[in-house]
Structure 1
Amino acid sequence: MDVVTIGETMVLFTPESSPMLRYSHSFSRKFGGAETNVAIGLTRLGHRAGWISRIGNDEFGKALISFVRGEGIDVSQVKIDKTAPTGLYFKEVRSGDQVKVQYYRKGSAASMLSPEDLDERYIAKAKYLHITGITPALSESCYQSILKAVSFAKNNGVQVVFDPNLRKKLWSEEEARKVLIELSGLADILLPGVDEGSFMFGENNPIKLGEKFLQLGPELVIIKVGAKGAYYFTDEGYGLVPGFPLKTVIDPVGAGDGFAAGIISGLLDGVPIEKVVERGNGMGALATQVPGDFEGLADRNELESFMNRSTREDIDR
């Protein structure tokens, strides 16, 4: 196993007759969750990924696990909850820069995840454990599960990749700030956005943020700065890897997950750090070009073609 990830994936409904929920009478049904988005991105790039979670013993849960399995992700550690339902959410894409999300996940099966659901031997088989700041926001037992998963990873030499993935709707700002800083300090590889860094430290300068994050303990920090690309920071130094210019953004949801998948893929392949970040930028950019949370995640050929084409266009200009 290359990567194990842990968290909630939900059923996603998107309005079809109107971008606004209040006027829509028909909806498309898809699936979405940061952790499985990353796992899907990794499997499309040729890596092996496993997912730890809970789903409801309902028709949505059955459809969800069939879908995730169909994307080549190992679901042997997904528990079926006989009492709690599979979570739902609705997404309004009014424009490429205006997206609204409404969750119906309180009391969901995934929010019942507990440390007892984790198998240390399973996590120990992976090279990387991928976690986000969403899961600990769902419940106290989810928070404890993340801490236990991190403990298992560290006990077995598995590197921890943490994407803060701030969701202010899920918890208080005080609690979010405290836990995100705590988990950042436990991570080996940290993938915040500059906005998340500003939330955590009250600082907007990515260089100063990189220094603050490194002081917490990670060996590699990569800070996303939108269309400009991303900065990487290590004890040896830092650099900016430019992003790929896009004419339009169709759906920005899932771009950060694509970025994370690209970063982890580059690390697994052992490419130089600039190429690692470039792969993350490419996956993130492509994710915005297709409606849906995961549909735009590219396979290796598509990604390489996009990055080569974009590089040639930059040279021509």
Structure 2
Amino acid sequence: MEKTLEVVTFGETMVLFNPDNIGPLRYANNFSKSIGGAESNVAIALAKLGHNVGWFSKLGNDAFGMYIKSVIMGEGVDVSRVGFDEERKTGIIFKERFQHTNPNVYYYRQNSAASHIGVKDLDEDYLKSAKILHITGITPAISESAREAVFKAVEIAKENNVIVSFDPNIRLKLWKLNEAKEVILKIAEKADIIFPGEDEGKKLLGTDNPELIADEFIKLGCKLVVVKLGEKGCYVQSKDEKIYVEGYPIKRVEDTVGAGDGFAAGFLSGYLKELSLEDCAKYANGVGAMAVLVRGDMEGYPDIEQLESFIGITESVDR
């Protein structure tokens, strides 16, 4: 089949309510409505960078489900495989923000429409049409059926020479560490590209040393390991290359949620363009840095002109 998509991804996206004020959630009276979901974040960031991307999930057949589909479609992502559940509702997430710290998040997603996604919701031809399947460790955490869907999607990808990209994205509000570790390492064994953070290396492998993290994932079978180092940048390792790439320091951070998803999208964008690993990492660091400048999960993702100006490839013309 002709490959019409560059990247396909799937997982739960929720309606996000972000308080207009900083402080405990119980004192927040006004909220801004947006969307939040790791996989849709990656899809939107890639679409903004000019790539042909597909995202699918199950949404409640309600106002929030319609809203999510509309927003993601409006950002240029193919949503033709999104399904609607007549019985279950769309999930909701609230943020609680404090000055200069990562926000707390509160999920209202138990028994949501997306938690009932399963193998039956996979369109094999759609998955086969992509160059890259991107998955995260969040989807297998939301239900047993979603976990089965992730493993089946990976199996389809591997059988059809589709590259598997994996962000562990450990969420301990969704499952216990022992269970997360077992499942995530099984997925990692089948991943071609993996995006662990230092803290995830510590939880999964017992080390936060970027080079040791990379060594272990290479041993598991990953071909390319990209260790996220926050504002310090990242460490990239393949069989033939090892490189640290400095990040782009940000003086005023508005919101860190979504930065890791933007980072993954930036790297995949460079990878699809067949750039060097160093340039892929610069793209990744750039998108991740730009994401934290704006409040919201995906609102800060740049287009390609903005990204290349930010990382110094081109000069911007402001007026």
Which TM-score band applies after superposition, normalised by the shorter structure?
A: over 0.9
What does residue 247 of structure 2 align with? 243
Structure 2: where are the runs of 5+ without partners?
Answer: none
Superposition pairs for residues 257-268 of structure 1, below 5 Å?
Answer: 257-268=261-272
1:297 correspondence with 2:301:
yes
1:75 corresponds in structure 2 to 79
Residue matched to 1:23: 27
Structure 2: distance between partners of 1:51 and 1:19: 34
Distance 1:57 1:252 in 2: 30
- The Cα shift of 1:53 comes to 0.6
Q: 2:125 aligns with which of 121, 124, 127?
A: 121
**Paired position in structure 2 for 1:315:** none
Gaps of 5+ in 1: 312-317
Structure 1 CA distance, aligned partners of 2:313 and 2:221? 37
CA deviation string 1:3-53 (max 9, x = no partner): 000100000001124532110111111111000100010010000110121
* 1:18 to 1:218, Cα distance in 2 relative to 1, 3 A: closer
Runs of 4+ in 1 over 6 A off after TM superposition: none
Query: Which secondary structure state, in structure 2, belongs to the residue aligned with residue 221 of structure 1?
Result: strand
From 136, 139, 148, the counterpart of 1:132: 136
Aligned residues: 311
Q: CA deviation at 1:281?
A: 0.4
| Alignment correspondent of 2:232 | 228
> Residues 154 and 309 from structure 1, CA distance in 2 versus in 1: closer, same or farther, beyond 3 angstroms?
closer
Aligned to 1:152: 156
TM-score scaled by length of structure 2? 0.95
Equivalent residue, structure 1, for 2:195: 191
Could you tell me how far 1:309 is from its partner in structure 2? 7.8
Contact persistence 1:244–1:310 (CA under 8 A): no
> How far apart, in 2, do the equivalents of 1:96 and 1:264 lie?
29
Q: Which amino acid is 1:118 matched to?
A: L
Which range moved further: 62-71 or 282-291? 62-71
- CA distance in 2 between counterparts of 1:193 and 1:18 reads 27
Aligned to 1:40: 44
Note if 1:91 corresponds to 2:112. no
Residue 103 of structure 1 aligns with which residue? 107
SS in 2 for 1:95: coil
Structure 1 residue aligned with 2:212: 208
Q: Percent identity?
A: 49
Give 1:149's aligned amino acid: A
Q: Is the 8 A contact 1:161 1:187 kept in 2?
A: yes
- 1:47 counterpart letter in structure 2: H
Match of 1:275 among 275, 279, 286: 279
Residue of structure 2 equivalent to 1:6: 10
2:179 aligned to 175, 178, 198, which one?
A: 175
SS in structure 2 at match of 1:308: coil
Cα offsets for 1:202-226 (capped at 9, x unmatched)? 1121111111111000110000111
Whole-Å separation in 2 of the counterparts to 1:18 and 1:158: 43
Q: How many Å separate the matches in 2 of 1:155 and 1:202?
A: 32
